[in-house]
């Protein structure tokens, strides 16, 4: 009885990674044992179409060089002295029997069990990584065999044929498509804030109904200020760091000298409301971690504790009437009312027309004679800005702003105990743009420690800007006396 040959051993489990990128692997299919190295090769790797097209071209070139593609008798061995110099040692490419399209083979590469991406979902098919490894590739004489090895646990196979019907979103330069869920915590939190920005509404920005109504229908007149209000504003601004009691004492001294001004000079709360109406600077207050880790906004709005350090959001003891007491808050100053206030002043409205006028001059100069430009004295000369203007993305009546965030030292003998960000109006000329009276506040964040999640602190201000971009901001121009 003739002995039966032993059955082939089952293929080992695990993931084996192949690469044939033209940049780092010289187009030769080889095993990559290091997943990080395999990922670095991704941008140079070929997709299925390019892979098999190159193999077809290589096969045609070899056939032409040999004098035809018909089968021939085995060639006689070449004497060692006549052989060409050996190429650098590299694992040879496993034979591919026929350059056929993957779709015709049911989504399978000839000679390979199945194809899948290593660990990302959803994925796009690539011929560079396989579910079960092929047998070890024979190595040249005198060289150890190249073994397939990967410590990662095996993963279930993914569907193949259906995925070949449509090309990947990011093209064939990437083996996997954009992951739906990030694995790093920081990236996942950033994605959550981005998703929250995609459903912005002006009503959900936290502004009062009166302010929202003004954003949608601004008053068509210049604000009038009485003599008593002007005196109150001077008292309030004379000492910006003065307390409420200080203002109250000064007002009491004034009304004692002039009793008739008792009802014409605003109280402290009234003068604050007056300043908000005139300047558009009105604060939104949100709570934050006591260690400045995160602000409880956006995806963190319902968190009872800090997701970074675990500190509680509220004080242990409730306040009056059982209300929870916030441990720390920060202030955000929405941009829309401040821009409306800039245009409500005839003087400032004329300054705000500078960008549109200067941009028109620059475009005319570049059309007439591009070589006549002697100095690029402002951002208006930038290719990105001029391109956006040319494509209609930035229009004449739009407002162009820049945001800047930094720490501040409020006291001479202390370290930075405050963070703030501001809006710089690029509509203003350079002579006015960076002056204190024209730099608009965006937010003030108290705390000695560095901010851990900056997105959470910027979210209320950026949410408001996104809502304005979606719903448009109505402006009444006091200089031209028209609304746009």
Question: Residue 258, SS3?
Answer: coil
Average pLDDT over residues 452-470: 93
In a domain, 192, yes or no: no
In a domain, 197, yes or no: no
Placement of tokens 């210049």 in the chain: 222
Same domain, 453 and 307: yes
The 10s digit of each residue's pLDDT in 373-388 is: 888 889 999 999 999 9
- Give the pair of three-digit tokens for residue 336: 């829309």
Eight-class DSSP state of 424: E
Q: Which residue, among 428, 437, 432, 431, has the nearest Cα to 355 in the 3D structure?
A: 428
Same domain, 322 and 360: yes
pLDDT band at 67 (very low <50, low <70, confident <90, very high): low
DSSP string, 40-95: HTGGG---HHHHHHHHHHHHHHHHHHHT-SS--PPPPPPPGGGSPPPPPP-PPPPP
Number of residues that this document lists for the chain: 484
User: Terminal CA-to-CA distance of the chain, rounded, Å?
Assistant: 99
**pLDDT over 70 for what percent of the chain?**
70
Same domain, 208 and 176: no
Top-ranked range on mean pLDDT: pick from 95-109, 182-196, 293-307: 293-307
In a domain, 188, yes or no: no
In a domain, 465, yes or no: yes
Buried b (16+ CB within 10 A) or exposed e, 363-385: eeeeeeeeeeeeeeebebbeeeb
In a domain, 185, yes or no: no
Range of the domain at 213: 203-483
**pLDDT over 90 for what percent of the chain?**
28
Top-ranked range on mean pLDDT: pick from 36-45, 257-266, 272-281, 347-356: 347-356
Domain count, the chain: 2
Average pLDDT over residues 300-320: 87
258 or 178: which carries more pLDDT confidence?
258
Prior bond of 122 cis (ω within 30°):
yes
- Using CA atoms, how far residue 68 sits from 63, 102, 180, 340, in Å, is 5, 26, 50, 79
In a domain, 196, yes or no: no
Q: How many CB atoms are closer than 10 A to CB 308?
A: 16
> Which of 180, 211, 231 finishes a domain?
180
pLDDT band at 7 (very low <50, low <70, confident <90, very high): low
> Which of 146, 180, 214 finishes a domain?
180
314 or 33: which carries more pLDDT confidence?
314
Same domain, 225 and 298: yes
Same domain, 96 and 210: no
pLDDT of residue 244: 80
Same domain, 162 and 208: no
Residue 108 Cα to chain centre, angstroms? 37
> Which of 180, 215, 237 finishes a domain?
180
* 271 touches 247 (CB < 8 A): yes
E strand or H helix that includes residue 214: helix 209-216
What residues form DSSP beta bridges with 420?
Answer: 406, 444
Same domain, 477 and 446: yes
Q: How many CB atoms are closer than 10 A to CB 10?
A: 7
In a domain, 186, yes or no: no
Q: Mean pLDDT lowest for which of 141-155, 217-231, 291-305, 422-436?
A: 141-155
Same domain, 242 and 168: no
Does the structure show a pLDDT above 80 at 393? Answer: yes
In a domain, 429, yes or no: yes
Average pLDDT, the chain: 75
The 10s digit of each residue's pLDDT in 408-427 is: 777 776 665 788 899 999 99
Question: Residue 188, SS3?
Answer: helix
Nearest-angstrom CA–CA distance, 111 and 107: 12
pTM (2 d.p.) = 0.60
- CA dihedral for 344, 347, 352, 358, sign (positive or negative): positive
The 10s digit of each residue's pLDDT in 210-221 is: 888 888 888 888
Question: Residue 470, SS3?
Answer: helix
Same domain, 164 and 296: no
DSSP string, 362-418: HHHHHHH-GGG-----SGGG-HHHHHHHHTTSS-TT---EEEEEEEE--STTS---E
Same domain, 111 and 219: no
Same domain, 315 and 365: yes
Same domain, 137 and 220: no
Residue 165 Cα to chain centre, angstroms? 31
pLDDT band at 57 (very low <50, low <70, confident <90, very high): confident
pLDDT band at 183 (very low <50, low <70, confident <90, very high): confident
Eight-class DSSP state of 16: E
* 276 touches 282 (CB < 8 A): yes
The 10s digit of each residue's pLDDT in 440-452 is: 999 999 877 888 9
């Amino acid at each position: 009885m003739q002995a039966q040959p032993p059955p082939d051993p089952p293929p080992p489990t695990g993931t084996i990674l192949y690469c044939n990128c033209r940049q780092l692997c010289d187009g030769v299919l080889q095993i990559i044992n290091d997943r990080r190295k395999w990922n670095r090769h991704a941008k140079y790797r070929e997709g299925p179409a390019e892979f098999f097209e190159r193999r077809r071209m290589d096969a045609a070139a070899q056939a032409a060089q040999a004098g035809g593609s018909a089968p021939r008798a085995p060639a006689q061995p070449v004497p060692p002295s006549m052989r060409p110099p050996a190429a650098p040692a590299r694992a040879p490419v496993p034979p591919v029997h026929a350059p056929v399209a993957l779709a015709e083979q049911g989504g399978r590469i000839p000679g390979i069990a199945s194809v899948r991406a290593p660990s990302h979902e959803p994925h796009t098919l690539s011929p560079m990584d396989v579910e079960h490894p092929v047998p070890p590739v024979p190595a040249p004489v005198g060289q150890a065999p190249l073994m397939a090895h990967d410590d990662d646990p095996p993963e279930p196979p993914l569907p193949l044929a259906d995925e070949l019907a449509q090309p990947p979103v990011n093209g064939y330069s990437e083996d996997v498509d954009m992951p739906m869920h990030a694995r790093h915590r920081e990236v996942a939190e950033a994605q959550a804030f981005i998703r929250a920005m995609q459903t912005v509404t002006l009503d959900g920005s936290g502004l009062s109904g009166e302010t929202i109504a003004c954003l949608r229908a601004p008053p068509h007149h210049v604000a009038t200020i009485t003599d008593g209000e002007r005196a109150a504003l001077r008292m309030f601004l004379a000492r910006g760091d003065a307390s409420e009691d200080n203002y109250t004492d000064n007002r009491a001294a004034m009304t004692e000298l002039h009793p008739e001004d008792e009802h014409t000079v605003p109280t402290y709360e009234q003068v604050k409301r007056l300043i908000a109406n005139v300047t558009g600077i009105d604060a939104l207050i949100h709570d934050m971690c006591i260690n400045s880790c995160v602000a409880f906004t956006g995806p963190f709005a319902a968190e009872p504790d800090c997701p970074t350090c675990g500190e509680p959001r509220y004080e242990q003891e409730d306040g009056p009437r059982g209300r929870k007491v916030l441990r720390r808050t920060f202030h955000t100053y929405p941009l829309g009312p401040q821009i409306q206030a800039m245009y409500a002043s005839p003087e400032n409205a004329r300054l705000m027309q500078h960008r549109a006028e200067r941009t028109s001059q620059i475009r005319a100069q570049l059309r007439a004679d591009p070589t006549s430009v002697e100095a690029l004295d402002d951002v208006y000369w930038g290719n990105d800005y001029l391109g956006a203007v040319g494509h209609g993305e930035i229009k004449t009546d739009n407002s162009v702003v820049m945001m800047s965030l930094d720490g501040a030292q409020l006291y001479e003998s202390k370290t930075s105990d405050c963070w703030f960000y501001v809006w710089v109006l690029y509509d203003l000329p350079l002579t006015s743009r960076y002056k204190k009276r024209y730099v608009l506040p965006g937010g003030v964040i108290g705390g000695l420690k560095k901010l851990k999640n900056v997105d959470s602190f910027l979210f209320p201000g950026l949410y408001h800007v996104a809502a304005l971009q979606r719903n448009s901001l109505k402006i009444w121009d006091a200089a031209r006396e028209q609304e746009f």
